[in-house]
Amino acid sequence: MSKLVDNLINNNLIPLKPYESARRLYSGGQDWLNANESPFSNHYEVDSSNFNRYPSCQPDDVVENYARYAGVNPKQLMVTRGADEGIELLIRTFCTPGQDNILICPPTYGMYAISAETCDVGVKKVLLNDDFSLDIEGICNTDNVNVVFICAPNNPTGTPVAKSQLQTVLNHFANSALVVVDEAYIEFDAQSTWVDALADYPNLVILRTLSKAFALAGLRCGFTLANEPVINALMKVIAPYPIPEPVAQIAATALSAQNIQRLDEQVNIINNEKQRLTDALAKIDEFTLVGDTKANFVLFRYGQSAELMAYLVSKGMLIRDQSKQVNLQHCLRVTVGSPEQNDRLLGLIDEFRSQTGASK
Ligand SMILES: Cc1ncc(COP(=O)(O)O)c(C=O)c1O
């Protein structure tokens, strides 16, 4: 860093490194099974006739269409630049820098901690139990917390969160913290949504995205669902023009009745492929499946995970190494791809095992 930058930079940013997103780690590759994206690429068209104008802060048709899709009132919803912006806005709106904390339950999605750290907000960690359920006692014994992040289904373990556990957490923090349920992968386990509980819990917040089942990771469009007072507070912090006009047009189209039917069909296909991939990985002697498969990925443990990862990368097959996450030593996460990609992955694993002399 230059001397000027060294002198000026926010002190709390000095120890931080940029988030190692899947796309930052590997820019090349042929098969991308490392970011839990959809294998489907759907076609959209945009109308550029209004591109000389600033867009609406919260485009009406996107708000209305998503509210209808999710079964909430449009006033209970905010559109953001991906669910990641929702995470950051929640922290900036409800935590005072240098003073307040969020609570996370690792192993889990990395952006909760990164966003908090960049905002100089503390991160309290209560590890998941060995079976990846919530450590309720640990969570309820943690004080001075303003926002609790719970990912369900959890990334990278693919596990759901039991209803009774979440109810306990919501009740425990009823008067002291927001409980944010990150439902980025909810379409793959649709009946587990917490959307119907919004009316019962003023402290419940739900995060959603178009990046996963909707096959629009490149669009950067997400949603925060909550009761009106929470949404109104977040509106104080969101940028004036957060949703670019082309994003709004495509998001509104993706949320039409016809395209939601297509979404359901694509989710079915991915869930069927997930079962096939899971069965095939489970049959490999030295592999142990880890967690559950409620999302669009499979997690497994393998003693030679580092060597296998390097081999797959050398063949342009990108998956995600999770072995640095707490309690996930030697674990690799594979996004469910197209049937061809999944077959290629299984073929490469087979090849690697024969080269290293593993039994068939
Ligand atoms: C659990 C979870 N939440 C949020 C996100 C980010 O979603 P978005 O692309 O909408 O920012 C991801 C992306 O991988 C995720 O896994």
Q: Write the pLDDT tens digit of every residue in 12-39.
A: 999 998 877 777 777 777 899 999 999 9
Radius of gyration, alpha carbons of the chain: 21
List the one residue out of 300, 274, 305 whose CA is nearest residue 287: 300
Ligand 1 in reach of 334 Cβ (< 6 A) = no
Percent of the chain's residues with pLDDT above 70: 99
Domains of the chain: 3-38+259-353 (3.90.1150.10), 48-256 (3.40.640.10)
pLDDT digits (tens, 9 = 90+) for 167-203: 999 999 999 999 999 999 999 999 999 999 999 999 9
Q: Is the pLDDT of residue 123 over 70?
A: yes
How many angstroms separate the CA atoms of 206 and 222, rounded? 11
Task: Write the pLDDT tens digit of every residue in 60-102.
Answer: 999 999 999 999 999 999 999 999 999 999 999 999 999 999 9
Of 32, 79, 109, 205, which is best to mutate to test ligand 1, by the most ligand atoms within 8 angstroms of its C-beta? 109
Q: How confident is the model at residue 237 (pLDDT cuts 50, 70, 90)?
A: very high
Distance 83 CA to ligand 1 centre (A): 6
Report which ligand 1 atom has the smallest distance to the Cα of 221: 10
Give the mean model confidence (pLDDT) for residues 144-158.
Answer: 98
Q: What angle do CA 88, 90, 94 make, to 5 degrees?
A: 125
Give 254's contacts (C-beta < 8 A, 6+ positions apart).
Answer: 42, 44, 210, 214, 216, 263
Structure tokens at 40: 């489907």
Distance of alpha carbon 177 from alpha carbon 121, whole angstroms: 14
CB 186 less than 6 A from any atom of ligand 1: no
User: Cα of 133 to ligand 1 centre, how many Å?
Assistant: 20
What pLDDT is stored for residue 18 in this prediction? 82
The CA-based diameter of the chain, rounded to the nearest angstrom, is 63
Q: What is the pTM of this model?
A: 0.97
Residue 359 pLDDT level (bands cut at 50, 70, 90) = low
Report the nearest-CA residue for atom 12 of ligand 1. 184
The pLDDT tens digits of the residues spanning 260-291 come to 999 999 999 999 999 999 999 999 999 999 99
Q: Is 36 in the pocket of ligand 1 (CB under 6 A)?
A: yes
In short, whether 182's Cβ falls inside 6 Å of ligand 1 is: yes
Burial class of residue 349 (count of CB atoms within 10 Å of its CB; 0-12, 13-18, 19+)? buried
DSSP state of 132: S
The mean pLDDT value for 117-146 works out to 98
Strands 317-318 and 122-125 come out as unpaired
Q: Is 300 exposed, middle or buried (0-12, 13-18, 19+ CB in 10 A)?
A: buried
DSSP structure class, residue 35 = S
CA distance to 42, 209, 253, 264, per residue, from 258 (Å): 13, 19, 9, 10
Is the CB of 79 inside a 6 Å radius of any atom of ligand 1?
no
Distance (Å) from CA 35 to ligand 1 centroid:
9
- Check pocket membership of 88 for ligand 1, CB cut-off 6 A: no
Whether residue 152 has its Cβ less than 6 Å from ligand 1: no
C-beta separation of 163 from 133 below 8 A:
no
CA distances from 355 to 287, 314, 333 (A): 16, 14, 22
Q: Separation of 40 CA from ligand 1 center, angstroms?
A: 17
CA of 109 to the centre of ligand 1 (A): 8
Asked whether residue 130 carries a pLDDT value surpassing 90, the answer given is yes
